[in-house]
Structure 1
């Protein structure tokens, strides 16, 4: 399902944009979970797990500007679609730093917002395109790739460690970890950081020569022999 976030410290602007978004979704017959925030700190904190595909952000807000918030959000969500809606046209040049798809000056024109949302949704990968089916005991389980922090291999069992702390495990396998990853995740953004651990590049918050800190604050090891490859892939992914 589509996920969207609106953040604006002005109540009337916030409610107007939310109303327009609701009208747009109804007109397009599109289901979405839309969350509304009145402060960028709340947005950043909650969206670490909520992870919207589309953001509509005011720029002039207390403590943290919309551009600063977008920089932090962009770090963990390089593919997110960002729309700025603001009363200050002077920030237009600076906003290009986070690659927004549009910069709308308030009062927000409904038709302009609708056309911008058309563009945003045309670029969004919805959940049916970013999921993986995992064989478990008794059947199959569908996991969102974005929610997978890392995958490990112990005693011929592959386990998927999720952002919410859940662990999803396969039955006992007859193949090794390398073969399993090649068969199931060869075209996805996973990298072996240890002999028995493959990490989701999109889940990495911090990388050192010995450890990886994931966005759910979990710490996993990096083997010395694999650090250079992990660092190179991670930089390619971010840039």
Structure 2
């Protein structure tokens, strides 16, 4: 069964310059205090760490430096945008020449350093206004001894075996139901009538938003794990995948 989530705002800040990183973090914290907004803020000093952790953390708002070693903020934003098409991206940089190049990831603003309150706060106002935290879905799963709430984007796929449905999560953990008296198709129909999950195999239903790559035989998930796609279900999976991406 799905319900509206009760998550707080999630913000990620990435800058390889410690002074700039601390300055932006301080300004964001002041903003949140002034606006009385509950939020979880994480900071990163390298875009590789940002991309890797945010596959699971999935911030609503990113504040990214553009000029960083090895991978630019724009390159990181392109990869993040692939898995999070609705995320709000703010670029902060000392280089004005990147404005045109950053256009393809649809940033909400492009702020030149040193970041000032009068530039950042209105941009954050706009970003926050576009984030609908209440629409985040969570899933209430019946488990042995009670119920457990999972954030929908934590789930990679469900697997049905021996009348038990196991939820495979991004962090590697598995949450299982008690033994069911119904089959997999009926379980999905009773609990997931929308298009969040699609059956890719007789015993597997994948979270469409967790698909990173799809071929006629396999699905590569956000955590690089691979699961099979049966020939008879490929078209349905492809249609669901393209609907989500587009």
Structure 2 match to 1:161: 168
Whole-Å Cα distance in 2 between the matches of residues 183 and 120 of structure 1?
36
How far the C-alpha of 1:218 sits from its partner, in A, is 1.8
TM-score normalised per structure 2: 0.90
Structure 1 match to 2:83: 76
**More divergent stretch after superposition (118-127 vs 201-210):** 118-127
Whole-Å Cα distance in 1 between the matches of residues 122 and 181 of structure 2?
52
Structure 1 match to 2:150: 143
Do the aligned partners of residues 127 and 213 (structure 1) sit closer, same or farther apart at CA in structure 2, a change above 3 Å counting? farther
How far the C-alpha of 1:127 sits from its partner, in A, is 7.2
- Secondary structure (helix, strand or coil) at the match of 2:86 reads coil
For residues 73-112 of structure 1, the aligned pairs below 5 Å read 73-112=80-119
Structure 2 match to 1:176: 183
**More divergent stretch after superposition (183-192 vs 53-62):** 183-192
Structure 1 match to 2:131: 124
Structure 1 match to 2:19: 12
Structure 2 match to 1:39: 46
Structure 2 match to 1:48: 55
Whole-Å Cα distance in 2 between the matches of residues 144 and 95 of structure 1?
31
Given that 1:135 and 1:171 are in contact with CA atoms closer than 8 Å, whether structure 2 keeps it comes out as yes
TM-score normalised per structure 1: 0.92
Residues 157-206 of structure 1, C-alpha deviation per residue, up to 9 Å, x if partnerless? 22211111211112222332222222222224211101121101121122
Whole-Å Cα distance in 1 between the matches of residues 134 and 162 of structure 2?
31
Aligned match for 2:232, one of 206, 217, 225: 225
Structure 1 match to 2:35: 28
Residues 102-144 of structure 1, C-alpha deviation per residue, up to 9 Å, x if partnerless? 1122222213312222222223243783211111122111001
Corresponding residue pairs, total: 239
Structure with bigger RCO (C-alpha 8 Å, 6+ apart): 2
Unaligned runs of 5+ in 2: 1-7
Structure 1 match to 2:208: 201
- Secondary structure (helix, strand or coil) at the match of 1:187 reads coil
Do the aligned partners of residues 116 and 97 (structure 1) sit closer, same or farther apart at CA in structure 2, a change above 3 Å counting? same
Moved runs in structure 1, 4+ residues, more than 6 A?
A: none
Given that 2:195 and 2:240 are in contact with CA atoms closer than 8 Å, whether structure 1 keeps it comes out as no
Whole-Å Cα distance in 2 between the matches of residues 139 and 125 of structure 1?
29
Unaligned runs of 5+ in 1: none
State the superposition RMSD in angstroms: 1.8
